[in-house]
Amino acid sequence: MPQEIFCGKTDIGLRRSNNEDAFIISPELGFCLAADGMGGAAAGELASKIFADTVLEIFADSTDQSEKEILYRVKKAFSFANEKILDHATQNPNHEGMGCTAELLAFCGDGFALGHVGDSRTYRFRNGQLRQLTQDHTLVQQQIEEGLISSENIRNHPLRNIILRALGQERELALDLLRGKILPGDLFLLCSDGLTDMVQDDQIQEILSSDIDVHRKADKLVESAKAAGGKDNITVVLVAIA
Ligand code: CA
């Protein structure tokens, strides 16, 4: 059975006065998550915390590690957290519009299940190559897919921050659910857009390729985002498969 080494870091960045991101790493329960809150200070922070707490609750509730159960848990965590955030916003109108984007990666045997909503991302680094496993749910990404704009120069696109999907927006949540196999040597990266808006994929790949341990890699990713301006909160979660 492959062994996973988990590491997570979050940083407020250089421009924001609070950190609306959240992460959890749980080697015991075999999952990790990263979430990025939106909706203004207190509300954004609360939305990502609701997601994190809900996932923890659901994963702590069962010891069944079958693939079917893991997939069920990932789906359930997203839909329960979505309901909770919407209910909270209904009861607290000053928090209207609160939500979060989220990545949830759970392992079972030699496989994984990945839930994704929004513009946080999950990457897999394998054999020296970085691959983005998730598609951003953003207007810009949709326009790229429709061939309306090219993927170059979108970093400064005026509409790059428009998110098409997030938790806490609609009762019916469209979740991207991916699954795959893990191999020894794989390295998974979950991150908020505070990393990817600041640091290009080739630089991320270079850091993940370097001959340093996983904790140092996480530090370097955060340092690079800050060196590039640190405009937003930065969260990175790394899982190394041994
Ligand atoms: Ca963000």
Q: Which domains does the chain have, with CATH numbers?
A: 4-135+166-241 (3.60.40.10)
Report how far ligand 1's centroid is from the alpha carbon of 103 (Å). Answer: 13
Amino acid of residue 65: Q
Residue with tokens 């991101």: 21
Report how far ligand 1's centroid is from the alpha carbon of 183 (Å). Answer: 30
Report how far ligand 1's centroid is from the alpha carbon of 36 (Å). Answer: 5
Report how far ligand 1's centroid is from the alpha carbon of 242 (Å). Answer: 30
170 pLDDT more than 80: yes
Alpha-carbon distances of 96 from 38, 83, 90, 118, 169, rounded to whole Å: 11, 14, 7, 18, 9
What integer pLDDT is reported at residue 236 of this predicted model? 98
Contact 8, 237 (CB under 8 A): yes
11 sits in which H/E element: strand 4-11
What integer pLDDT is reported at residue 210 of this predicted model? 97
What are the pLDDT digits (tens) for 93-129? 999 999 999 999 999 999 999 999 999 999 999 999 9
Report how far ligand 1's centroid is from the alpha carbon of 201 (Å). Answer: 17
Report how far ligand 1's centroid is from the alpha carbon of 231 (Å). Answer: 9
Report how far ligand 1's centroid is from the alpha carbon of 108 (Å). Answer: 29
